[in-house]
Amino acid sequence: MDLNIVQMILVFIVAFLAGMEGILDEFHFHQPIIACTLIGLVTGNLVPCVILGGTLQMIALGWANIGAAVAPDAALASVASAIILVLSGAGKAGVSSAIAIAVPLAVAGLLLTIICRTIATAFVHFMDAAAKEGSIGKVEFWHIVAICMQGLRIAIPAALILAIGAGPVRGLLEAMPTWLTDGLSIGGGMVVAVGYAMVINMMATREVWPFFIIGFVLATVSSITLIGLGGIGIALALIYLALSKQGGSGNGGGNANIGDPLGDIIDNY
């Protein structure tokens, strides 16, 4: 599929916003489900891009900057894979190939992230000097430059992919051997598992384990739709809130309230 100049400009703007939001984290344009949906919207490929974004979002759940470790670049993976999916013209059939490409792109994006953050340290010194001069305008200028640099971190690779065109992109996808695409798909599946494990490790407590178990069991029932699962989730959340408001040792047990009312209730059960 070939894009017209207006669509290319809109894609470039979406990529730029995704790059900035990777730092600002205010409107979450860098999240895969939003970035891919926006690119699908401006290119007329909404459905396959939403499917791609939803799948990548599940993979990226466990991607987080922990200490000095920088997480894979979800923004670059989302934008680049969505553009490749659109240019390939494969529609829903090309989602699996785009996902296979997204994971290595996310890892490769780490290099761009590190470069931008290294350059940004120089801007901090410029802002310190401007602050000593009492020039608020210069401080704001360097803030804007640093944020725009983060936007270009995603927008420039997106523009390069758009410049290559649909033909070479389609040829690249078709030239990929089966063992490579299968290996990347398996690697992507492993990343999903690791992402879930990291999320559960951060969130899991004795109070929420029952809800995790119920959710995973219900997810295996194919006759329940996503709307049904959403309704069950809301109901469980309301139950959790109702139990947390009760507090204390409700049945007169010997466990003391240690600041965890729901934990006391579960212990007494």
When pLDDT is averaged across residues 220-224 and rounded to a whole number, the result is: 82
At 174 the pLDDT is 65
Quick one: what percent of the chain has pLDDT higher than 90?
Answer: 27
Instruction: State the pTM of this model.
Output: 0.64
The three-state DSSP-derived secondary structure of the chain is: CCCCHHHHHHHHHHHHHHHHHHHHCCCCCCCHHHHHHHHHHHHCCHHHHHHHHHHHHHHHCCCCCECCECCCCHHHHHHHHHHHHHHHCCHHHHHHHHHHHHHHHHHHHHHHHHHHHHHHHHHHHHHHHHHHHCCHHHHHHHHHHHHHHHHHHHHHHHHHHHHHCHHHHHHHHHHCCHHHHHHHHHHHHHHHHHHHHHHHHHHCCCCCHHHHHHHHHHHCCCCCCHHHHHHHHHHHHHHHHHHHHHCCCCCCCCCCCCCCHHHHHHHHC
Q: What is the largest CA-CA distance in the chain?
A: 72
Domain boundaries, the chain: 5-199, 204-268
When pLDDT is averaged across residues 126-136 and rounded to a whole number, the result is: 91
At 257 the pLDDT is 45
**Model confidence over 80-106: pLDDT tens digits?**
889 988 988 878 888 887 887 777 777
CA distance 106 to 75: 8
Count how many Cα atoms sit within 13 Å of the Cα of residue 125 in the half-sphere of its side chain: 4
CA distance 126 to 180: 46
